[in-house]
């Protein structure tokens, strides 16, 4: 029996429904794993089809064609390596299962099916898949072979391999316990776990604890990139042996695939099972599949992978990288010529534009100039290679004027502070920037309406909201026209905080194909902008340029957020409440699923109870829920956005709420009654 194994993980940037493209990426990853002399390669969950195929998983004609691609992959595998790949399994005449197949050259050795389906957060797996019952095994004809399917363990020359598939490892009754009882040596976890701030720490815990508690090598790999348009996958990959992390990947790479490996000692992990106080039953041999396969000859001179460090997450850097990777994937997967942006000189649009710039720099560094230029050409952007020109100068002079078009659309109430801030930021990035006034357009619409009621013209005292909204809406057609003419994607600039309460103008600042910061709270937007100014965003694959900063962000950071839609001085927080408080209310409500009374109880135990009176907190909670309940129709129409924080305002993938409801009147009254008793 082999004493050691070299195990590789592959994170790949799949595209839903693109079986041929995904297969090509998988084959490229296999080639890299061969170069690393891997014995086993683990690919992510549903890697063959893509995870986000949505209701195409209901298409029997389509799903039934997937096993043929397993055969195509197996035919091209090297003789000395096994590959585990995720795919949807349709049992003819029955239902669809989320599965992983273990392959070697020309062979499909068996299929393990997911037992616990993700149904929380942004995941709706029970809509498409059926959970596999623990302990059940059957035989199916698959890709022309009779294959064992179900809750099985593979034994390969005395080494046992088992699987937990993503959500399986997040539940209390995880299959790892059963795998331990069947004396599994290597537990592999193919995942499609969306990015969210703080989530990597949880993954690390169950990977290391799974290795320690089950006396096994634990292998984890995740999808990479913005696969289907909303969720971003971070390409996280980890291997733990004897309870210690021996491999941890860089996350959020702009590479189309990334393969990393570790050499681990099987015997060392078995020794932990020997001393475990959890009794192993010798008769516990159900679902063991003996695989006729010869490992490559052991290399006794190959060093074991040492314990590796695990750096704490930098939340601002991680959020920037996730959004930038999403922007890059939207740009290349839609074959468009970059982005158009109404650059207001405020915090939200500034961050959107900055992350387009960062995405271009990081893409060049990771892909190389030739591959990057080829990708741009697919979106009708042709740039000459930079030659001797410094990288950032080339991006500024040759790339950004073609990739990002910005327009400052001043109104009668705009000032030079925002105008100059927008111009300065666009200039430092190299964006193609325009400046025009919407004042005449607004005046034209007001004349049309006032001519209908000449004796009753509109006034700010009576028509405040309408007069604000017409300015925001008039900005939409012009920037849309530029986007259409230049084959660009129009970015909306709504953030998570304001989208949650509907503090936005439909068909105004919400206009766009994509809202890049729709998953980022306003508090964090402000913090990130300062971070970009003071520290810069860390870059990967860039020894000579470790961080990317923008000095022009100072003019953005030094402003109070304002919509500039009223003739008098206006700030967003005066219209709403302090952003940190509003974000706390939103986060408590959406992650803890409590009523207004529950939100107040949490706030009273925290820092804001020391800063504000009980009466003020009650008033702000009422304000939040009043806006939240009234504006669900707005959230239904907001452009697609990336999931970045723990919660989201997206009703299609995270938070569902009725469009018509009773405004939570009873629950708000209950909160007020509770507050009066204190």
pLDDT in tens, 244-272: 999 999 999 999 999 999 999 999 999 88
Note every long-range contact of 444-450, with CB atoms under 8 Å and residues 24 or more positions apart, other chains counting: 445/470, 445/474, 446/470
Q: What is the pLDDT of residues 513-526, one digit of tens each?
A: 999 999 999 999 99
In a domain, 660, yes or no: yes
Q: How confident is the model at residue 37 (pLDDT cuts 50, 70, 90)?
A: very high
Q: How confident is the model at residue 426 (pLDDT cuts 50, 70, 90)?
A: very high
* pLDDT at position 310 over 70: yes
261 & 276 share domain: yes
53 & 117 share domain: yes
416 & 434 share domain: yes
Q: Of the residues 524, 546, 574, which one is the last residue of a structural domain?
A: 574
Strand partners, 240: 218, 245
User: In whole angstroms, what is the distance from residue 108 CA to residue 101 CA?
Assistant: 7
In SS3 terms, 142-193 reads as: ECCEEEEEECCEEEECCEEEEECCHHHHHCCCCCHHHHHHCCCCEEEEEECC
509 & 615 share domain: no
* pLDDT at position 564 over 70: no
User: In whole angstroms, what is the distance from residue 628 CA to residue 591 CA?
Assistant: 15
Q: How confident is the model at residue 655 (pLDDT cuts 50, 70, 90)?
A: confident
pLDDT in the model for residue 450: 95
Q: Of the residues 574, 593, 625, which one is the last residue of a structural domain?
A: 574
* pLDDT at position 560 over 80: no
In a domain, 304, yes or no: no
pLDDT in the model for residue 380: 95
Is 469 annotated to bind a ligand? Reply is yes
Number of domain units in the chain: 3
pLDDT in the model for residue 128: 96
485 & 403 share domain: yes
Q: What is the pLDDT of residues 128-166, one digit of tens each?
A: 999 999 999 999 999 889 999 999 999 999 999 999 999
Q: How confident is the model at residue 285 (pLDDT cuts 50, 70, 90)?
A: confident
Is 622 annotated to bind a ligand? Reply is no
User: In whole angstroms, what is the distance from residue 632 CA to residue 642 CA?
Assistant: 19
Is 199 annotated to bind a ligand? Reply is yes
Q: Of the residues 253, 276, 291, which one is the last residue of a structural domain?
A: 291
Q: What is the pLDDT of residues 295-305, one digit of tens each?
A: 999 999 999 99
In a domain, 297, yes or no: no
In a domain, 305, yes or no: no
Check if 114 is active-site: yes
Q: What is the pLDDT of residues 600-617, one digit of tens each?
A: 999 999 999 999 999 999
In a domain, 298, yes or no: no
Q: What is the CATH number of the domain that holds 616?
A: 1.10.10
495 & 597 share domain: no
Q: What is the CATH number of the domain that holds 461?
A: 3.40.50.620
583 & 510 share domain: no
In a domain, 307, yes or no: no
278 & 324 share domain: no
In a domain, 544, yes or no: yes
In a domain, 296, yes or no: no
- Mean pLDDT computed over every residue of the chain: 94
Q: Of residues 113, 114, 488, 645, which has the active-site annotation?
A: 114
For 579, other C-beta atoms within 10 Å of its C-beta total: 20
619 & 558 share domain: no
pLDDT in the model for residue 12: 98
Collapsing DSSP states into helix, strand and coil, what is residue 436? strand
127 & 149 share domain: yes
Q: What is the CATH number of the domain that holds 225?
A: 3.60.110.10
509 & 658 share domain: no
* pLDDT at position 275 over 90: no
For 89, other C-beta atoms within 10 Å of its C-beta total: 27
Check if 629 is active-site: no
In SS3 terms, 375-427 reads as: HHHHCCCCCCCCCCCCHHHHHHHHHHHHHEEEEEEECCCCCHHHHHHHHHHHH
Structural domain span for residue 595: 577-678
**Which of 251, 231, 162, 174 is closest to 206 using CA atoms?**
174
Q: What is the pLDDT of residues 459-487, one digit of tens each?
A: 999 999 899 999 999 999 999 999 999 99
pLDDT in the model for residue 525: 97
Q: Of residues 53, 125, 164, 166, which has the active-site annotation?
A: 166
403 & 539 share domain: yes
């Amino acid at each position: 029996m082999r004493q050691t194994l070299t195990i590789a993980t592959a994170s790949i940037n799949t595209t839903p429904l693109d079986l041929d493209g995904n297969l090509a990426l998988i084959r490229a990853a296999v080639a890299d794993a061969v170069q690393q002399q891997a014995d086993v390669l683990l690919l992510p969950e549903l890697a063959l089809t893509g995870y986000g195929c949505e209701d195409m998983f209901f298409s029997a004609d389509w799903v039934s064609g997937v096993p043929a691609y397993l055969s195509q992959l197996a035919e091209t595998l090297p003789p000395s390596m096994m590959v585990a790949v995720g795919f949807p399994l349709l049992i003819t005449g029955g239902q669809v299962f989320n599965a992983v197949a273990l392959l070697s050259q020309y062979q499909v050795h068996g299929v393990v099916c997911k037992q616990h389906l993700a149904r929380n957060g942004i995941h709706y797996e029970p809509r498409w898949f059926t959970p596999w019952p623990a302990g059940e095994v059957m035989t199916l004809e698959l890709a022309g072979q009779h294959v064992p399917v179900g809750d099985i363990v593979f034994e390969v020359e005395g080494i046992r391999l088992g699987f937990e598939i993503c959500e399986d490892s997040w539940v209390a009754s995880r299959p790892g316990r059963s795998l331990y009882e069947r004396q599994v040596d290597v537990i592999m976890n193919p995942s499609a776990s969306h990015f969210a701030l703080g989530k990597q720490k949880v993954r690390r815990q169950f990977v290391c604890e799974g290795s320690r508690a089950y006396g096994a090598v634990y292998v984890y790999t995740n999808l990479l990139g913005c696969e289907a348009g909303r969720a971003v996958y971070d390409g996280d990959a980890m291997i733990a042996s004897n309870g210690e992390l021996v491999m941890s990947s860089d996350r959020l790479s702009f590479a189309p695939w990334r393969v990393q490996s570790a050499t681990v000692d099987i015997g060392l992990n078995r020794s932990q099972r020997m001393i475990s106080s959890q009794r192993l039953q010798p008769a516990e041999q159900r679902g063991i599949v003996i695989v006729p396969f010869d490992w490559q000859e052991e290399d006794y001179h190959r060093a074991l992978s040492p314990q590796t460090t695990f750096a704490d997450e930098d939340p601002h850097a991680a959020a920037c990288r996730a959004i930038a990777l999403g922007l890059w994937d939207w740009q290349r997967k839609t074959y468009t010529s970059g982005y158009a942006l109404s650059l207001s000189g405020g915090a939200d649009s500034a961050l959107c534009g900055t992350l387009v710039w960062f995405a271009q720099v990081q893409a060049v560094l990771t892909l190389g100039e030739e591959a990057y230029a080829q990708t741009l050409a697919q979106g009708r952007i042709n740039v000459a290679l930079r030659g001797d020109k410094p990288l950032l100068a080339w991006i500024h002079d040759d790339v950004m004027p073609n990739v990002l078009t910005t327009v400052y659309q001043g109104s009668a109430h705009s000032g030079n502070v925002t105008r100059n801030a927008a111009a300065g930021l666009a200039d430092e990035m190299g964006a193609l920037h325009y400046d025009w006034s919407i004042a005449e357009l607004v005046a034209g619409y007001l004349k049309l309406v006032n001519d209908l009621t000449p004796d009753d013209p509109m006034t700010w005292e009576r028509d405040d909201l309408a007069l604000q909204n017409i300015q925001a809406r008039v900005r939409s057609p012009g920037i849309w026209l530029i986007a259409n003419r230049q084959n660009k994607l129009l970015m909306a600039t709504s953030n998570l905080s304001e989208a949650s309460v509907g503090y936005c103008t439909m068909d105004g600042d919400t206009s766009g194909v994509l809202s890049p910061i729709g998953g980022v709270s306003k508090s964090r937007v402000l913090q990130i902008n300062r971070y970009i100014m003071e520290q810069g965003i860390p870059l990967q694959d860039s020894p000579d340029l470790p961080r990317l900063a923008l000095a022009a962000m100072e003019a953005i950071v030094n402003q109070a957020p304002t919509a500039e839609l009223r003739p008098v001085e206006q700030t967003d927080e005066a219209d709403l409440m302090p952003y940190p408080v509003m974000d706390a209310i939103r986060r408590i409500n959406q992650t803890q699923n409590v009523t207004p009374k529950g939100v107040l109880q949490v706030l009273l135990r925290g820092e804001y109870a020391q800063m504000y009176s009980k009466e003020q907190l009650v008033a702000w909670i009422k304000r939040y829920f009043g806006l939240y309940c009234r504006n669900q129709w707005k959230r239904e129409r907001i452009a697609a956005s990336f999931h970045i924080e723990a919660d989201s305002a997206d009703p299609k993938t995270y938070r569902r709420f009725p469009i018509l409801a009773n405004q939570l009147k009873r629950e708000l009254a209950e909160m007020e009654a509770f507050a009066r008793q204190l």
